[in-house]
Amino acid sequence: MKYRLIRTISGRGQEPDQFTETLRGIAVDSDGRVFAVGDSAVRVFQADGRLLHTWSTSSPGYCIAIASNGHVYVGLAGQIEIYEADGTPITAWRDEQHLGLVTAIGFANTSVLAADANARCIRRLGPNGKLLNTIGDDNRRSGFLIPNGVIDFAVDRTGTIHAANPGCHRVERFAIDGTRLGHFGRFDGQDPSGFSGCCNPTNVAVDDRGRIFVTEKAGPRAKVYDSDGALLSVVADSQFELACKNMDLAVDSKGQVYVADTVKLQILVFAPQAEPAAAGNTAAPSEGDESR
């Protein structure tokens, strides 16, 4: 299975649909609209890349997520802000202690999960923002090893959390009550199935079929693994600026991969190539094309 760059959205600049300094988080809703947070603003794009609308956040945003009811959650330093899909503010959950720096948000059943990069753990919050429990801080290092400064995770449809632990070169799995369910990944600087450099992967996304998409830095690339941790494909490794780091990514229902280039402040959209649209879950690994 190969991926092909089909579109770029936004970029660095002063235009309304562009970002000036940062592009930190992206999310795709069920209609294929792309929500991106960067600088101190959320910009919403149509699937073809046209800007739909934009609104400001109270401070620079670090991540964005769309709940099943269509509400938009934006993670910031010390709080989570919640908006309607059109940008109307609903509420904000402020908690400097437990939401020091929210770098990823996910949803499982009725609870909201938020990664706190300051405390190096994941918080599980109730639907009203009340802290229920903390995930991932029970190891000997009291949390994730994140020299990159961010924790990213994704929740699959079964409610399992897949979180990047870049210092250990792993993707770790948790139940929402904090139970460790295992991990996959190892260091390898030559074989693309391993994670390279000091601290990878940086960001994680999961699709409906349970496949795990990750991005790495130095050199920047995006890869996809099956749910057991076997490499399926390198999505892209040459289309990004070399200095990219913490490239957020998202997957839509069509299997298209959206990756944020954090230097060009651009969203790159990759589509799977020559894959039967109706293929079952087992079809992808049997393609066996794991090399670049």
Partner 1 sequence: MSEGITRREAMGHAARGLAAIGLGVTAFHLIRKADGQIVWQLDHSRCVNSRLGAVGVNTCNLCTSECVVAQSAVRAVNDFSKCGRCYICPAYYNVTSAVDESGLPSEKLCPRDAITRTMIGDADPEDPANNFYEYVIDETKCDGCGKCVMGCKEPAGLGSIRLAVRHDLCVDCNRCAIAMACPDDAFTQASVAEAFERLETKGGT
Partner 2 sequence: MIAARRFTALVITILLATTLWASSAFGQPAPYDRPVDAAPQAKDIGGGYTTPDVQKPLPRSYWLEALDVALLATAMILVSWLVLKKRNRTWLVLVTIGCLGYFGFYREGCVCPIGSIQNVVVALTDPEYSIPILVTALFFLPLFMALFVGRAFCGGVCPLGAIQELVLLKPVRVPRRLDRTLGLLKYVYLGLAIWYAAQPIADRDFVICRFDPFVSIFRRTGFAHMIGIGIGLLALSMFVGRPYCRYLCPYGGLLSWCTRFANRGVTITPDKEIDCGLCADACPYGAIEQNRAVRRSCLYCARCYASCPRTGPSMPTVRGKAVAASDGGRS
Contacting positions for partner 2 (CB under 8 A) = 117, 120, 141-142, 145-150, 245-246
> Shortest gap between Cβ of 120 and partner 1 (angstroms)?
12
Q: Which does 120 bind (CB under 5 to 8 A by kind): partner 2, partner 1, none?
A: partner 2
If binding is defined by CB under 8 A, does position 167 make contact with partner 1?
Answer: yes
37: which DSSP letter?
A: E
Distance CA 285, CA 274 (A): 14
121 binds partner 1 (CB under 8 A): no
Q: Distance (Å, rounded) from C-alpha 117 to C-alpha 103?
A: 6
Handedness of CA 282, 284, 285, 288 (dihedral sign): positive
Residue 196 engages partner 1 in binding (rule: CB under 8 A): yes
Query: Least separation, in Å, of the C-beta of 38 and partner 2?
Result: 13
Spatial separation of the C-alpha atoms in residues 67 and 91, rounded to whole Å: 14
Cα–Cα distance, 142 to 193 (Å, whole number): 28
Query: Interface with partner 1 by CB under 8 A: which range of 42-50, 197-205, 224-232, 248-256?
Result: 197-205
Position among 52, 67, 198, 231 found at the interface with partner 1 (CB under 8 A): 198
Min CB(185)–partner 1 separation in Å? 10
Smallest gap from Cβ 149 to partner 2, in A, equals 3
Give CA–CA dist 78/102, Å, rounded: 7
First-to-last alpha carbon distance for the chain, in angstroms, is 10
Q: How many CB atoms lie within 10 A of CB 172?
A: 22
Which of partner 2, partner 1, none binds 188 (CB below 5-8 Å, type-dependent)? partner 1
User: How many separate helices (H) and strands (E) can be counted in the chain?
Assistant: 1, 24
Which positions touch partner 1 (CB under 8 A)?
139-141, 145, 147, 167-170, 186-191, 194, 196-199, 217-218, 220, 242-245
